[in-house]
């Protein structure tokens, strides 16, 4: 088990109020996010299941993976989901100097922008969403990114889909129990997380759809 809690405690949100932890709303809206793609097969599977539930989401992509799989990245855009920056090489903020960290994020941003035709810039609402890999970001790095115009998106509910010590049923239960209006939920469209994610995601979508929730991309809100 990890020390990281499933539900982000209020103290963390208070300590870092400039980061986005959830969306304050009285409406039945959930913000699904998927980190670490694009990944062959798994990202496409995710796009299919989202489409079946008329759900929009936000994909925090690794620049290097976009370069390897541009056609999958295009599929995410085509389906109208939001894109976020998750660094070029999935680096750890706490082990990286602020200058190098920002350069790596800048590289990922260029990779993202390169994939989007200029004529489509308006349509796709190019956003400046950033999520730090492993949730690791120093206050200095955070300040600099916010000054550059990035919005730093953390989360409200961690699915722990990547954690092989967690049974897939528990992964699902965690998300069902901790999610509320305006929650930002973290899943991964990665090989490592696929077993738990592919079990939990369809059930999360069905469960909350039945309760009258809808699923939105973050670019329309933050
Ligand atoms: Zn990641």
Rounded to the nearest angstrom, the distance between the alpha carbon of 190 and the centre of ligand 1 is 9
Token readout for 160 is: 């722990």
* Active-site annotation holder among 69, 81, 86, 188: 188
35 in active site: yes
What H or E segment, with its residue span, contains residue 216?
A: none
Do 132 and 152 touch, CB atoms closer than 8 A? yes
DSSP 3-state assignment of 49?
A: helix
Q: How far is CA 46 from the centre of its chain?
A: 13
Ion ligand 1, residues whose Cβ is below 5 A away: 35-36, 133
Q: Where are the domains of the chain?
A: 10-220
d(CA 188, CA 197): 7
Please state which architecture CATH assigns to domain 10-220. Answer: Alpha-Beta Barrel (3.20)
Rounded to the nearest angstrom, the distance between the alpha carbon of 90 and the centre of ligand 1 is 6
Per-residue pLDDT of the chain in tens (222 residues, 90 and over written 9): 446 777 887 777 878 889 999 999 999 999 999 999 999 999 999 999 999 999 999 999 999 999 999 999 999 999 999 999 999 999 999 999 999 999 999 999 999 999 987 766 666 666 799 999 999 999 999 999 999 999 999 999 999 999 999 999 999 999 999 999 999 999 999 999 999 999 999 999 999 999 999 999 997 567
């Amino acid at each position: 088990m990890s020390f990281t809690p499933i539900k982000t405690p209020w103290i963390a949100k208070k300590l870092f109020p400039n980061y986005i932890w959830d969306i304050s709303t009285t409406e039945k809206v959930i913000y699904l996010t998927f980190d670490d793609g694009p990944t062959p097969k798994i990202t496409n599977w995710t796009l299919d299941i989202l489409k079946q539930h008329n759900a929009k989401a936000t994909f925090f992509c690794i620049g290097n993976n976009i370069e390897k799989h541009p056609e999958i990245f295009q599929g995410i855009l085509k389906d109208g989901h939001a894109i976020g920056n998750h660094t070029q090489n999935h680096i750890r903020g706490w082990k990286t100097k602020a200058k190098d960290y920002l350069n790596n994020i800048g590289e990922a941003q260029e990779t993202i922008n390169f994939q989007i035709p200029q004529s489509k810039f308006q349509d796709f609402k190019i956003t400046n969403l950033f999520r730090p890999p492993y949730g690791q970001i120093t206050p200095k790095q955070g300040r600099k990114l916010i000054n550059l115009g990035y919005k730093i998106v953390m989360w409200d509910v961690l699915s722990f889909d990547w954690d092989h010590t967690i049974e897939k049923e528990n992964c699902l239960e965690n998300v069902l129990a901790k999610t509320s209006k305006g929650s930002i939920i973290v899943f991964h469209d990665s090989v490592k997380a696929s077993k738990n994610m592919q079990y939990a995601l369809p059930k999360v979508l069905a469960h909350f759809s039945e309760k009258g929730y809808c699923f939105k991309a973050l670019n329309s809100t933050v």
